[in-house]
Amino acid sequence: MKDLIYCQKEIPGDQCRYGFRTSADTGCGWIATYNALRLLGYRAEPDDLIRMYERMLPLVHGNAGTTMLAPALCFKKWGFPVEVSICREKYDDLVNSSDVCILFYRWRRKWKLGAHFVALHRREEGIVGYNTYTNSQGPDRYGESLDGWLRERKYFGSVLIGIRDKR
């Protein structure tokens, strides 16, 4: 894979297994990391990222997804300046001061609960995310405010990881 991953549901089930499940089911964490590295101009190999995250949780092995702070720990270990925020009112400032961000949030639809990671950054047209929805075909527009985007959708329990290039 050389380009960004826009929709994890399009990864064939026999490729990029994450634990005992497919990346289409639980791979958003490594995919957000992959996309963030690509947006920064670095090479990333999905199999390497998957193995790294599986080792971070030795008993779970990615079967329940990626822990919310795992990308921050990895980027910090790789030497990138990282800032983590749980205060949504500060998200827009963090997006503006970072080269790329990884957003973790929880969602609820009726009785179903879930969580998701997405890589994002600010461009001229506003904040843009990658692998946002199960039907994404390209970059998704978040508008001018990440806080507003989260509030509008009633997503909760979010963490924003701001990453600056180490070069």
pLDDT of 16 reads 86
**Mind giving me the DSSP string for 44-96?**
--HHHHHHHHHHHSTTTTTTT---TTHHHHHHHHTT--EEEE--GGGHHHHHH
The whole-chain average pLDDT of the chain stands at: 92
Q: Is the pLDDT of residue 122 over 60?
A: yes
What residue ranges define each of the domains in the chain, with the CATH number in brackets? Answer: 8-163 (3.90.70.10)
Q: Is the pLDDT of residue 2 over 90?
A: no
Q: Is the pLDDT of residue 58 over 60?
A: no
pLDDT of 1 reads 47
- Strand, helix or coil for residue 134: coil
Q: Please report which confidence band the pLDDT of residue 63 belongs to, taking 50, 70 and 90 as the band edges.
A: low
Q: Is the pLDDT of residue 129 over 90?
A: yes
Assess contact for 158 and 104: CB atoms under 8 A. Answer: yes
Whole-structure pTM value: 0.94
pLDDT of 156 reads 95
**Closest by alpha carbon to 32, among 15, 57, 50, 54?**
50
Report residue 85 CA to chain centroid gap.
14
Q: Please report which confidence band the pLDDT of residue 24 belongs to, taking 50, 70 and 90 as the band edges.
A: confident
Assess contact for 41 and 11: CB atoms under 8 A. Answer: no
Assess contact for 46 and 27: CB atoms under 8 A. Answer: no
